[in-house]
Amino acid sequence: MLAVSSSDAGRWRVLHVRGEIDMATSPTLRQEIIGQIGAGHRNLVVDLAGVDFVDSTGLGVLIGGLKRTRSQGGDMRLSGVTGQLSRVFELTGLDDVFTVIDADQPDGVVGAQP
């Protein structure tokens, strides 16, 4: 099960993801990211606070999103990376690739780094 809702924080479009991101659900997230970029939202925050599992398929979708936003002159950041997520981000070296922002102060941090 995966559910995605969205909200705005300044120039950032925030996608709030809930559930597990694996081979079954990652196409939903990919479509959502592509749809947002297509609708003109080149600056995305993917809020993973409601996600308790991400597999390599899900990591691939996040990498793809990062590359897509950047190729449009935008950017993608993550928040809510804890537990199992921080473990796989660390093991794959993705913690160095993604800008992970503090879930408690998303606006502040996001606003401070345009």
Contact 7, 40 (CB under 8 A): no
Candidates 61, 76, 81, 110; binder of other proteins (CB under 8 A) is 61
- Adjacent-strand bridge partners of 23: none
CA angle at residue 46 from 79 to 96, to 5 degrees?
Answer: 60
Candidates 6, 9, 18, 22; binder of other proteins (CB under 8 A) is 22
C-beta of 9 vs 55, nearer to other proteins: 55
- Residue 70 neighbours by CB distance under 10 Å: 12
The yes or no reply on residue 60 touching other proteins (CB under 8 A) is yes
Contact 24, 58 (CB under 8 A): no
The yes or no reply on residue 9 touching other proteins (CB under 8 A) is no
Stretch that binds other proteins, among 7-15, 37-45, 71-79, 88-96 (CB under 8 A): 88-96
- Residue 25 neighbours by CB distance under 10 Å: 22
Contact residues toward other proteins (CB under 8 A) are 20, 22-24, 53, 55-57, 59-61, 63-64, 84, 87-88, 91-94, 97
